[in-house]
Amino acid sequence: MPHSTAWSSAAETLDHTVSSGWQLSPEGRSGACWFTGPTGYSSLTLTDIFVPDASTELTFWLQYQLGSSAFRVAISSDGGETYTNLLERSNNYARNWQPCTVDLGTFAEQEIRIRFELTNGSFYPSGGVWLDDLALTSGTWWRWLPFIDDTALTAHRFAEERTLLDDCADFSVFEATSTSTSPDSDWGVSTNAGVEHCFYKSPASFAKSRLTTYAPLTPGTGTRLLMRWKRKLSDDIFRVLVSADRSSFTEIWSAGGSSGWVEQAIPLDAYAGQPIYLRLEYAFSGGGYFPSGGVWIDTLWLQEVTNPELEGQPVHFTVMTAPAEPGSYILASVVEDTNATCHALSPAFTLNVLPRFDYQPEPGGGATLTRYNGSSERLEIPAEWEGRAVTGIASNAFGGTPVVSMILPASLTAIEAGAFAGADGLQRIFFTGNAPSVAADALAGTSATVYYLPGRAGWSASFDGRPALLWNPAPAPGVTFGFRNGVFGFTLTGTALIPVHVQAATSLTANAWYSVTNTALGADGTLRIRDPESPAHARRFYRCVWP
């Protein structure tokens, strides 16, 4: 919904944000604040949409302690597809709150999104970014509000739980060994790879350099080895192997080529329930290599996964909303994971909700319906709409609609010319009251038959040139009423060929009535009814309704 009042946030909740790596901190300038660190990558995107004017500024209070990791304020004017950096801070040791201002005037009259980012780089262990007291000085803005929540997908989602295996700071979990006695053939610990510490194997030693767990581990059916690593390999290669006895090893995964820091998942489910040793191996037997290359391993986890086949798959689902008030809505979906973290909004779309009927108010409190906006084939028009009695139907009110059968209220007193013009599928119109006044050609172009109730005034054998039939089905007494061969039945009589729907229930106050037959009386004005379900019930009630 649009807001013209100035936007501000004390940053005391993560509501109206999509956060990856940010959290609430009690160390705010005024209460709680947003925090991320000590390094990234992390992002915090405001889900509110802003339309600045030429003088709009984003203001906030910032405290940061960073190495080469950079804090950025980025703006998107294309729905989140791309972002432009407007402010950057890094390489600061002192922690003190300072005001910041970002000019948004270059985005005047454009819909923008605002994102706060922290990049990866060197850092202080106790450092990071603290953000508080945000505001926009002018412009308008929109806020996403919940429209519908759905949890049906929770049983059909990928989920994971990680247990740290090794932070790669020393060799307490893995033993470093080599097939060579050369000192440079073993793995080492590096602090020069953009992370605090990691395992590192330099290239081109003619050996198999190995990291082998001291103790066995026992995977389950959903266990994977998850490894955060990077590599720069040519003819050299990296392998993962397993062993039941720490002597004879089997390769289960390998990779070459190059990559930045990535997470690699390696399934261990083939060894579920079996104690195994893990081995990480760098091998070079000649050929090309990168002098500055090798393998870096930052962290190793054991990852337990649920529904691994759904990882990375697109999600398709249908959800039924409650009836929405007429109006125009901009909608988008957002997914909240098991950690209550909301992930990015889907592309937005506009939903225009029309009222079921448009109408024109009439003197005396009545309403003339001017348009039906629905898509039902069977339609019952209410006696009252928007607090007014429905007294008329205007010209072209049902043109182009798929209505086949219609029930009109007793409050109806007038039908204008061409009211049903263009309603090509209309076959039956059931009037519950007296005959209304009707303009010439109100039913022109339709093949509808008109039906009316006994005791109603003003009816004859035709209505605006269409046949009009008395709808008067009633059960006939006599020998056909009752059980025959163990099945209850009766005969309906009435005007020939009128449609009828016979229903049954075990109580007159039942919420659900079940169909016995939905048909029409014969040319002789009779219809034999048999209820094959009647022997299964101690009692059974029947009613005849308009189909």
DSSP string, 439-474: -TTTTTT---EEEE-TT-SS--SEETTEEEEE---E
C-alpha 420/C-alpha 402 separation (Å) is 11
C-alpha 230/C-alpha 259 separation (Å) is 5
Q: Are 541 and 505 in contact (CB under 8 A)?
A: yes
Q: Which fold has domain 162-310?
A: Jelly Rolls (2.60.120)
β-strand pairing of 414-415 with 388-393: parallel
Query: Does the pLDDT value for residue 166 go beyond 90?
Result: yes
> E strands within 143-243?
159-166, 174-178, 188-190, 198-201, 208-213, 223-232, 237-243
Segment 115-151, tens digit of pLDDT? 999 998 889 999 999 999 999 999 999 887 777 777 7
Segment 328-350, tens digit of pLDDT? 887 877 776 666 666 666 777 88
Looking at domain 474-545, which CATH architecture does it have? Sandwich (2.60)
Provide the H-helix boundaries in 161-318. none
C-alpha 382/C-alpha 433 separation (Å) is 13
The Cα-based distances of 220 to 210, 267, 305 in angstroms read 25, 10, 10
Q: Is CATH 3.30.70.270 correct for 357-470? A: no
Domain ranges of the chain: 2-142, 162-310, 357-470, 474-545
Q: pLDDT averaged over the chain?
A: 91
C-alpha 236/C-alpha 199 separation (Å) is 17
> What are the residues facing 252 on neighbouring strands?
none
**Intrachain domains 2-142 and 474-545 with the same fold:** no
pLDDT at site 340: 60
pLDDT at site 105: 96
CATH of domain 2-142: 2.60.120.200
Segment 22-80, tens digit of pLDDT? 999 999 998 999 999 998 889 999 989 999 999 999 999 999 999 999 999 999 998 88
pLDDT at site 479: 78
Q: What is the CA radius of gyration of the chain?
A: 37
> What are the residues facing 61 on neighbouring strands?
99, 132
Query: Does the pLDDT value for residue 359 go beyond 90?
Result: yes
Q: Are 21 and 125 in contact (CB under 8 A)?
A: no
